[in-house]
Amino acid sequence: MGSIIRHFLARPIWFAVAIVVSLALLPVAVWLDLRQLSDTVLRTQADSLNSMITDIRGYYAKNVAGRVLASDGKTVTAHNYRDIPGAIPIPATLSLELGDVIGRRGENITYRFLSDYVFKSREPHRMDAFERDALKAFRGAPSEDATRLDLTGSLFDRKIRLVAPVIMAEACVACHNSHPESPKRDWKVGDVRGIQEVEVEQKIANNLFAFKYLLIYFLFAGMAGATFATMQWRQSHMFKRMNAELEEANSFLAAVSMKISKYLSPQVYRSIFSGERDVVISTERKKLTIFFSDIKDFTMTSERLQPEELTRLLNEYFTEMSKIAHEHGATLDKFIGDAILAFFGDPETRGEREDARACVKMAVAMQERMATLNEEWRSRGIEQPFQTRIGINSGYCNVGNFGSAERMDYTIIGAEANLAARLESIAEPGGIVLSYETYALVGDLVRARPLEPISLKGISRSVVPYVVEDYIGEVQFTRSVINEHVEGARIFLDVAQVREAERERLRQALLKAIHQLQGDRPRMS
């Protein structure tokens, strides 16, 4: 059975064919059973009719023909014909005695003659309500073709009774009106003398096997239904088990994917799990805008702070910067110690200009957020919070999956990435330095001051750095650090770190310097 179920499960077309064939065989089974039932009924009726005729023939031979022959052909009709030599029964007596003859066999057919006008020498006929109502109705509207039916029975048998009127003929009227035992002497031709009743009883169980083809069909249909139910039950349990396994696998994969997403940039994560990017070693050359930042004097800062506090500050810093990078659509490549490497242009790009503008907007937002974080950190007792420097460059790099088949990293390689790191190294704390290639794409967003050209290994050209002094956008770029140096002078001022008690002394020193630069004598206040 199991192999059959597996066969149908593997080949559902055969199951559909079996259903179609079974539906086509239903009318065939019904037709065969109806023919069988018809044959059975006809055979039963023929047997009953043959028995009735045989009994009637025997009765006629004994009580009619035999009596006539015994009397040398001289005979009369009488209701008490047995008491008169050579007499034969009148029709009413014949009907009564035929009922006994037919019913004596004890078969499923009986015959009775009933009347409410019985000769005085006979016992009254017992009639039930159906018979009395039928007799009354027949007398109200006499007709030789009138009949009445009564169908009764139980769960196991059915019984039908047919009653018809017995109409008085001319000979019957003459006999009954002159007979001394007749209870009624004013009969007329056409009057209803009584009723004759034929009763047929049929046991349902007798014809049960007349539906053998239908029973066989339903047996096979039941087996097929049980097989189908078993298949469905097994299939539902199989699906339930598979769904449970899939749910467990999905939960596991969802948990794993959430953990993996912490190690990948959102764009890379989406491209891998959506199937847009295959996890194979492959790279391509694209023009990107590269962002590089680190924390000024991080080594010295780490020496002043306890490891736990340094870890907490660094994680808070990376969290805030990552959030800003995500909001601006950056691909966050990696954290290198205290440094952040990110880029725009892959795997998603909005065009070279828009990528560069998004990168500069992100850098400004990061420096603005750092100013807020510095105030929070100082309020928590951090005397010298982090100061970040940012370098941005636009150029062609190799981007993609680098590494081996077992371990790979999605990153960028090229001199242009190194240039972004070099630009960051010359930036002031809290400052942003752009390459000319980036500045040319975002010139309408920022006001920048060029510095002396620098050279970098791997890049044949001299690079002119541009220091961002102001951001022409929704948020003004406010720098809390001033770091200027020329021959004969060097100014470094971090206003956020100047204590309130020392601000006035510092202000006087700066005013004195301004007056000296203007050639004026300083005013003492």
Please provide the DSSP assignment of 235-287 as one string. HHHHHHHHHHHHHHHHHHHHHHHHHHHTTS-HHHHHHHHTTSS-SSSEEEEEE
Choice among 21-30, 76-85, 333-342, 400-409 with the minimum mean pLDDT: 21-30
- The DSSP string of 147-210 is -EEEEEE-SSEEEEEEEEEEE--HHHHHHHHH-TT-S-----TT-EEEEEEEEEEEEGGGGGGG
**In whole angstroms, what is the distance from residue 328 CA to residue 469 CA?**
21
Choice between 443 and 4, residue whose per-residue pLDDT is larger: 443
Pairing between strand 432-434 and 466-471?
antiparallel
For 124, the token pair is: 């009254």
- At residue 517, the pLDDT reads 82
Task: Report whether pLDDT(356) > 70.
Answer: yes
Choice among 61-75, 171-185, 228-242, 299-313 with the minimum mean pLDDT: 61-75
Pairing between strand 388-403 and 454-456?
unpaired
Backbone angles phi, psi at 230, to 5 degrees: -65, -40
Cβ-count burial 124-146 (b if 16+ within 10 Å, e if not): ebebeeebeebbeebeeeeeeeb
pLDDT band at residue 273 using 50, 70 and 90 as cut-offs: low
**In whole angstroms, what is the distance from residue 181 CA to residue 83 CA?**
15
Q: Which of 33-37, 201-205, 433-437 has the highest mean pLDDT?
A: 433-437
Choice among 16-20, 144-148, 406-410, 477-481 with the minimum mean pLDDT: 477-481
Secondary structure of residue 295 in the 3-state scheme: strand
Choice between 158 and 196, residue whose per-residue pLDDT is larger: 196
- At residue 269, the pLDDT reads 63
Task: Report whether pLDDT(335) > 80.
Answer: yes
Nearest to 411 by CA among 458, 459, 342, 359: 342
- At residue 525, the pLDDT reads 46
- At residue 256, the pLDDT reads 75
Angle, in degrees to the nearest 10, between helices 352-379 and 307-327: 150
pLDDT tens string 93-125: 777 777 677 666 556 778 888 888 888 888 888
For 19, the token pair is: 């259903």
Rg (CA), the chain: 59
**In whole angstroms, what is the distance from residue 307 CA to residue 305 CA?**
6
Task: Report whether pLDDT(142) > 60.
Answer: yes
pLDDT tens string 410-462: 889 988 999 999 999 999 888 999 999 999 999 888 889 998 888 877 677 78
Task: Report whether pLDDT(478) > 60.
Answer: no
Residue tagged 């750092």 (tokens): 370
* The one-letter amino acid at 315: N
pLDDT band at residue 371 using 50, 70 and 90 as cut-offs: confident
Query: Average model confidence (pLDDT) for the chain?
Result: 80
**In whole angstroms, what is the distance from residue 213 CA to residue 330 CA?**
78
pTM, two decimals, is 0.51
CA distances from 250 to 254, 263, 271 (A): 6, 20, 19
For 219, the token pair is: 């047996």
Pairing between strand 388-403 and 408-413?
antiparallel
**In whole angstroms, what is the distance from residue 361 CA to residue 472 CA?**
10
Q: Average pLDDT in the 347-366 region?
A: 93
Residue tagged 């809290």 (tokens): 430
Q: Which residues contact 305 (CB under 8 A, 6 or more apart)?
A: 313, 382
The 3-class SS string of 318-367 reads: HHHHHHHHHHCCCEEEEEECCEEEEEECCCCCCCHHHHHHHHHHHHHHHH
Q: Average pLDDT in the 215-232 region?
A: 75
